[in-house]
Amino acid sequence: MLDKPFPPGSTAAQIVAVLRDCYDPEIPVNIFDLGLVYDVEVTDDRRARIAMTLTSPTCPVAESLPGQVEEQIRARVEGLTDVRVEVVWDPPWSVDMMSAAAKLELGLL
């Protein structure tokens, strides 16, 4: 789970807000709190790179979810010159990466 703080109002913070509105359709928790987002980077020339994973390589939305995330960021964060969502598998996702709020929502706490 991405745990570095971003300054309020920064482009990275705006991206995180969008990520908190994106949901895995099978789990009623947003992808950020699920711990699927590993990194958010914004370069000086306003290019955004989001490294994320999925709950498993055989996830039914593996083909569509990263593209949907990219589309949402492009549509809702102004001034970006490029957006790339990269799916990574290292480290493998586990329940330990979920936020406490997500675990509570799913009855794991």
CATH number of the domain residue 48 falls in: 3.30.300.130
pLDDT digits (tens), the chain, 109 positions: 677 789 999 999 999 999 999 998 888 899 999 999 999 999 999 999 999 999 988 888 888 999 999 999 999 999 999 999 999 999 999 999 999 999 999 999 8
| Chain centroid, CA 85 distance in Å | 9
4 domain-assigned: no
What's the pTM value of the predicted model, to 2 decimals?
0.91
Between β-strands 37-42 and 82-87, what pairing exists: parallel, antiparallel or unpaired?
Answer: unpaired
Domains in the chain: how many in total? 1
- Give residue 83's domain range: 11-105
